[in-house]
Amino acid sequence: MTEKCFTVGGAAIKLKDGKGLEEKPKGRPISPEPDDFVKNKVIKLRRRYEWGPKKIAGMLKRKGYAIDHNQAYRIICEAGLNNPITEPRKTWGTKRFQREHSNNLWQADFKLCNDDFWMISFQDDHSRFITGSVKIWNPTGEKAVQLIERAVKKYGAPAQVLTDQGTQFKPARGETSQFALQCRDMGIEHITASVRRPTTIGKIEAFHKAYEKESHLFKEHWNFIRYYNHTRPHESLNYLTQQKYT
């Protein structure tokens, strides 16, 4: 096929097929519009789990569907399923850490739930997998000991356990807690976070936040834990589930 040639400022410019210099489109490339099947997937996930557009789009991309979070957001809005936030989200800093392997470190914490029960949970730092969680009436060190014994029996002992400085883990008078003694007997190093440093145990705090927002979708506590470990994709894990990342 012939090529036409002309010069601009002495430089030869070749044009193929008779086409001149075309101006590049401005802005971001426009992604193809999701089809009805993908749109229905977005709506079903939103209704079932109340996930946000980033989590929905990330999970669908993992499954091979072409969609971005802006398209997912638009589909959610068009379906009347959007719930705008009423106040800015809290941020606690930018420093992040993650242990390289599973069972290198577990995070542990108590949480007072809306039904006035307390929840004690252990979470693997690397994979975010919940190795143990139970709801109790009294948040005692004995309950923490019982739970870590069951979790270690099922998943093996971590090298370290990280907690806050609550009295269940670190008595105010400087004594060694029952929990710390049990960790030592199992060959686990018990370490504590600095005072007023919520990001140190930020992963289990994020789990608590997910529990607050999504546990009402499940009748039983362990149904939510199974969902969290095996179904719910995690943004920090590139939208893999905790079980697949271990």
Using the predicted structure, report yes or no on whether residue 192 has a pLDDT greater than 70.
Answer: yes
**Do 120 and 195 fall into the same domain?**
yes
Domains held by the chain: number: 2
**Do 184 and 115 fall into the same domain?**
yes
| Residue 5 counted as domain residue | no
Structure tokens at 72: 């997912």
pLDDT at 1: 47
| Residue 112 counted as domain residue | yes
Looking at the chain, the whole-number percentage of residues with pLDDT higher than 70 is: 79
**Do 146 and 212 fall into the same domain?**
yes
**Do 129 and 219 fall into the same domain?**
yes
Please give the span between the terminal C-alpha atoms of the chain, in angstroms, as a whole number.
57
In one letter, which amino acid is 230? H
| Residue 162 counted as domain residue | yes
| Residue 45 counted as domain residue | yes
| Residue 27 counted as domain residue | no
**Do 125 and 228 fall into the same domain?**
yes
Using the predicted structure, report yes or no on whether residue 190 has a pLDDT greater than 70.
Answer: yes
pLDDT at 155: 95
**Do 143 and 187 fall into the same domain?**
yes
| Residue 173 counted as domain residue | yes
**Do 70 and 113 fall into the same domain?**
no
**Do 138 and 176 fall into the same domain?**
yes
pLDDT at 30: 67
| Residue 25 counted as domain residue | no
pLDDT tens by residue, 66-103: 899 999 999 999 999 988 777 766 655 555 567 788 99
| Domain at 238, CATH number | 3.30.420.10
pLDDT tens by residue, 167-187: 999 887 778 999 999 999 999
Q: What's the DSSP call for residue 86?
A: S
Nearest to 242 by CA among 215, 218, 224: 224
**Do 55 and 159 fall into the same domain?**
no
Structure tokens at 155: 């998943």
The residue with tokens 């977005």 is 42
The SS3 call for residue 6 is strand
Using the predicted structure, report yes or no on whether residue 14 has a pLDDT greater than 60.
Answer: no
Instruction: Please tell me the pTM assigned to this model.
Output: 0.75
Average pLDDT (50-71) is 90
**Do 55 and 149 fall into the same domain?**
no
Domain extent for 173: 105-245
